Structure 1
Amino acid sequence: MTKPNPLPGSDFTGKKVIVTGAAGVFGRWICEAFDAAGATLLLSDRDEAATAELATTLSRPALTHRTELTDAGSIDDLVATVGREWGAADILVNNAAVYPSGFLLDVDAAEWDRIFDINLRAPFLLTRGIATQMVRQQVRGNIVMISSGASRKMRTTAAPYSISKSALDRLTKGFAVELAEYGIRCNAVEPGFAAGSKASPLSEAHVKATTAAIPLGRASRYEDATASILFLASDLASYVTGATLSVDGGNSAGTILVHQDKKKAL
């Protein structure tokens, strides 16, 4: 069943959009949202089968690319594919990331490098390459980074992830400042918690505990973060760049203590 446009009235007809981590939970939602708004997509993911399946569900033909984000050569090939097929994209959504679990004392150098390669180096390399094409083709494009409330609130067993997202927020501002003269905007969205990641699978107990701690009392839905991503990539946000928007049910503002004694509101 085709998903609805999460930002009614937005029109991305004729716009060319790249989404990394397209086959994941958020990636799929982002692709479906842009598809519903009329965009043409390039689906980037390391899972070829899942990416191909996603392409069959979209309203119009999509490009696909098997991208290994720990490999700079694979990222270069993705950029080259965009240049060959489109000349330049209009929108890049750096969505792909990993969320491994482990205490800092147990994280070895190879795992640290893998986390930062995917969560930080890859968005840098891909944004650099895609933005260069935008500049050359005089496309006033948009970059949207998918960050996390973890960038501002450290989490035990997820410190490397939190640190990588903090750095991604600074990278967003760096690109926003330096690309502004070309009419290219760069912003970030912090989506709420949603279970189901293949790259970083979570236990049922973890999912239940995390959801219970969210102030608004539920996990993220399709229409939540996707509407904000479409907004930031649209002309409605033409004066917004270097911003980070939290769409997480209040989770980055604070958490509910599940076992606390309830007090009457009145």
Structure 2
Amino acid sequence: MQFRDKRVVITGAGGIFGGWIAEAFAAEGARLLLSDNRPEAVDALVSRLGPNAAPVLRHRTELTDAASIEDLAAFTAREWGAPDFVVNNAGIYPRSGPLLELDVADWDRLMDVNFRAPFILTREMAKLMIREKVEGSIVNIGSGAARKMNLGSVPYCTSKTALERLSKGLALELAQHRIRVNVVEPGFAPGSDVSLLPPGYAEDMIARIPLNRASGPGDAPRAVLYLCSEAASFITGAVLSVDGGNSIGTYQRPK
């Protein structure tokens, strides 16, 4: 229970991975600030956490709006002073099709959520942590797509590559303040109501994963908690893949 009463900010908390990460921290006694632009999804998550969880704060954040992200940081400052841990989990995964047919507005929205928002939020939260002398940890949720380009998902792959490079730069700059920044690359987990997938896509993806299953509720959260723990106190700027081997390459199963 080393996370008891630790203050954890999680973006995209109403999504699949956000909910799993929140549940894992709550089980360890952490205090949560759940950020999402869908209050009903956060309400459902809080209900799942149950009455024994530590008090939960909520913020309706629109990650395409810098002012909304800055308001999340200001809310954190008012309530806590500073967080101990920040998990930039929110992301969207639209099947964008050929680049030559991609609308600029779609490109901008994806980059705003997947890349620009983690930069702004980390910048603001790190300022609070430095001011309050919190030697904490920031975990950005990346993707194996950062190292494996996929047709139809080039903007997504680009955004996750950029996020990993940004994470390493932030790790370098924040090291002097004993704030660690790392990346977890979760495996494929279908079912998001934000990034809808075409029929048959999930089955095809799972068939390509070397360990032959989708990501489960304990996989990525364990990695996030590890990187926030004392056991990882000498790890910063690292990328930890928890994807069943999917980022290694495509596995072709015998027919």
| TM-score category (smaller protein) | over 0.9
120-129 or 10-19: which moved more?
10-19
Shift of 1:49: 1.0
Shift of 1:57: 2.6
Task: Quote the Cα distance in structure 1 between the aligned partners of 2:90 and 2:12.
Answer: 4
Alpha carbon RMSD of aligned pairs, Å?
1.0
Note if 1:20 corresponds to 2:15: no
The count of aligned residue pairs is: 251
Contact 1:55 1:61 in 2 (8 A): no
Shift of 1:201: 1.3
2:232 matched residue in structure 1: 237
Q: What SS is found at the alignment partner of 2:10?
A: strand
Q: What SS is found at the alignment partner of 2:197?
A: coil
Task: Quote the Cα distance in structure 1 between the aligned partners of 2:66 and 2:174.
Answer: 22
Task: Quote the Cα distance in structure 2 between the aligned partners of 1:177 and 1:57.
Answer: 37
Task: Quote the Cα distance in structure 2 between the aligned partners of 1:107 and 1:177.
Answer: 34
Report Cα offsets for 1:67-92 as digits up to 9, x if no partner: 00000111011000000000000000
Q: In structure 1, which of residues 195, 198, 219 is the aligned counterpart of residue 193 of structure 2?
A: 198
Give the TM-score, by structure 1 length: 0.92
Give the TM-score, by structure 2 length: 0.96
1:56 matched residue in structure 2: 47
Q: In structure 1, which of residues 124, 131, 156 is the aligned counterpart of residue 126 of structure 2?
A: 131
The gaps in structure 1 that reach 5 residues or longer are: 1-9, 262-266
Contact 1:93 1:145 in 2 (8 A): yes
Note if 1:148 corresponds to 2:139: no
Contact 1:52 1:64 in 2 (8 A): no
Contact 1:190 1:244 in 2 (8 A): yes
Shift of 1:11: 2.1
Q: What SS is found at the alignment partner of 1:222?
A: coil
Report Cα offsets for 1:121-141 as digits up to 9, x if no partner: 000000000000000000001
Q: In structure 1, which of residues 28, 45, 50 is the aligned counterpart of residue 36 of structure 2?
A: 45
Note if 1:110 corresponds to 2:101: no
Task: Quote the Cα distance in structure 2 between the aligned partners of 1:13 and 1:47.
Answer: 27
Note if 1:96 corresponds to 2:90: yes
Shift of 1:257: 2.1
Task: Quote the Cα distance in structure 2 between the aligned partners of 1:164 and 1:252.
Answer: 16
Shift of 1:209: 0.4
Q: What SS is found at the alignment partner of 1:157?
A: coil
The gaps in structure 2 that reach 5 residues or longer are: none
Q: What SS is found at the alignment partner of 1:19?
A: strand
Task: Quote the Cα distance in structure 1 between the aligned partners of 2:65 and 2:152.
Answer: 26
